[in-house]
Amino acid sequence: SLLSLPSSSSSSSPIPASQPDAILEPMLRLMSGLPIPPWTVSVSSNDHYDERAHQLKTISQISSLLTLAESWDAPGPLSILRLSITSPPFLAHPLRLYALATHFNWIPEAKLASKHSLSLNLFAYDESESDSSTTDEDDPATSNPNFNPNPNPNHNPHPNDPSPRSNDTSALQCISSKSLLSLLRLHRSRRDLLKTHLDDPHIFSQGNSESSRCTACTSQIDNSAWRELKARIFHEMDKCPKGDFIGSWEMEEWKEAARCWESRC
């Protein structure tokens, strides 16, 4: 009858899944409380171990696991995987970490990723460098709410991959417009804040004064060298908002810095 219990099948039928075994096995282990072995990159006898390839492979697999956990609505594996995305491989690729963190609305991880991204020039990436062929219509970051923050999860970076920048370009394409704007504002605000301090006459009184005179001989001081150095610092901050070049030996070799240090009245 309609109310009778279905009879048990003599043989279990397989559950269809589109994910490869390399993703399904660790996901099932996570859901079952079993340990997960560390990920490794297969290296042939003709190749040498490449740390960057290992990092990108790890990021690719964890990103695919996060996407699968989200599609399966599995908060347990998500919470466990969240702890892993602040590991060194992700910190070495902050744009991928930022794409993942903002997608899942993980604020602390997003702030950490944005901090590590300050050494990158976000305006130096070109869309043509990306290995992704998505257009505006099929861009997963804009059209699919469950987009995969790993643009190419099946890509196994070769140690001799000739285009390392394409990975960062693909990560940028997966960041939502709102989150990308916040990242750009952070980079720009650090540059503008430093410029405000460099232009402050209370901090650099002689260099920023309209009529600076030497305290020893009272002769007029030419501030052009200081203005050129400020312009160079502003330009470099646009490329590296982290600002760790300030006071470095590299800065000492700038012609603008040498001219400023050698200025005399």
Give the model's pLDDT for residue 17.
79
DSSP character string of 161-207: -S-THHHHHHHHHTS-HHHHHHHHHHHHHHHHHHHHHHT-TTTSHHH
Torsion of CA 62, 66, 68, 70, to 10 degrees: 180
Angle at CA 221, nearest 5°, toward 216 and 225? Answer: 130
Query: What b-and-e string marks burial along 3-37, b requiring 16 or more CB atoms within 10 Å of the CB?
Result: eeeeeeeeeeeeeeeeeeeebeebbeebeeeeeee
Nearest to 169 by CA among 233, 245, 95: 95
Instruction: Kindly give the interhelix angle for 75-84 and 21-32, rounded to the nearest 10 degrees.
Output: 110
Give the model's pLDDT for residue 191.
94
For the cut 80, the answer to whether the pLDDT of residue 166 exceeds it is no
Give the model's pLDDT for residue 263.
80
pLDDT tens across 30-46, in order?
999 888 887 665 555 45
Q: Which residue has the higher pLDDT, 223 or 108?
A: 108
pLDDT tens across 132-142, in order?
443 333 333 33
Give the whole-angstrom CA distance, residue 62 versus residue 39: 10
pTM of the complete model: 0.75
Highest-pLDDT range among 153-157, 200-204, 205-209:
200-204
Q: Taking residues 157-180, what's their average pLDDT?
A: 69
Angle at CA 243, nearest 5°, toward 241 and 249? Answer: 145
Confidence band, pLDDT 50/70/90 cuts, at residue 112: very high
**Residue given tokens 């397989």 in the structure block:** 14
Q: Which residue has the higher pLDDT, 64 or 160?
A: 64
